[in-house]
Amino acid sequence: MEKTRVANITSDLIDAVHEICIKHAVTHSEYRAAINFISHAIDSGERSLLFDAFLEANVVASDPTKISGTTSQVLGPFYLPDMPFIKDGVLARKNEPGERLRVFGKVLNTKSEPIGGVELDFWQADAQGRYSHFDGGATPEENLRGKVESNGTGDFFLETVKPAQYTIPDSGPTGLLLKEMGRHPWRPAHLHVIARHPDYSTLTTQIYFEGDEYLESDAVRAASTDLAFPLTYEGEQASVSFNLVLQACR
């Protein structure tokens, strides 16, 4: 009988774990401790954080369904679905603390032709590195989250604040494991975006800023320098511009 994909992957996973156990002479009490650690992380509300921090970037890199266009990035644990469309691209409140940032984007296909009607679903950390809904109520519920749409020339615009570099939550089980491994918990500053259009593969990516010190040592090993764009200034006003390239559905 031909094995299913689940059976094949599970068999290989078990073989890989077997090899690691032999290599490190893993004891039975360490095996129990590992199970307890994963349960504890889940009970502490870190199910998504634990897996997204250590494993999601590997899957983004291995996924063969996305072969052209803008590089994909991890979704991470801080996405909220069903956020509303925002008016005139104004993502940040007038009194939102931080440096105002104008975002100019253009959506293209792989032939460099503009794509209109693309839904662009943005979320970001604030200027103190906090994500609304995941910050114990420190910021308003849907703060710095919202959708815009590309126009007939593929262009879209956002008025926001520059997100801060931030540490992924580092006082719980995920952070302790990271520390144990000698890794720091910092992520470079970024904007998250999901681009959706019925004729194109959905793109989940992040926009970084050139020169960010954590681009090369991202805690979640996701950041990619081809997604780092320069911050430009006109007087005090900061702007960033980039293209998003979508792959047509096959």
Q: List interacting residues with ligand BEZ (CB under 6 A).
A: 49, 52-53, 74, 76-78, 168, 187, 220
Least separation in angstroms between residue 49's CB and ligand BEZ is: 6
Residue among 159 and 170 whose Cβ is closer to ligand BEZ: 170
Q: Which amino acid is at 136?
A: G
Residue among 49 and 240 whose Cβ is closer to ligand BEZ: 49
Q: Which residue is nearest to ligand BEZ (CB)?
A: 76
Cβ-based neighbours of 200, under 8 Å, separated by 6 or more:
109, 115, 118, 246, 247, 248, 249
Least separation in angstroms between residue 220's CB and ligand BEZ is: 4
Q: Rounded CA gap, 53 and 51, in Å?
A: 6
Least separation in angstroms between residue 134's CB and ligand BEZ is: 9
Two tokens, residue 173: 């089980």
Q: Rounded CA gap, 218 and 173, in Å?
A: 19
Residue among 190 and 197 whose Cβ is closer to ligand BEZ: 190
Least separation in angstroms between residue 249's CB and ligand BEZ is: 26
Residue among 26 and 54 whose Cβ is closer to ligand BEZ: 54
Cβ–Cβ under 8 Å, residues 107 and 137: no
Residue among 92 and 168 whose Cβ is closer to ligand BEZ: 168
E strands, 96-199, in order = 100-109, 119-124, 145-149, 155-161, 166-167, 186-187, 190-197
Q: Rounded CA gap, 197 and 220, in Å?
A: 28
Least separation in angstroms between residue 13's CB and ligand BEZ is: 21
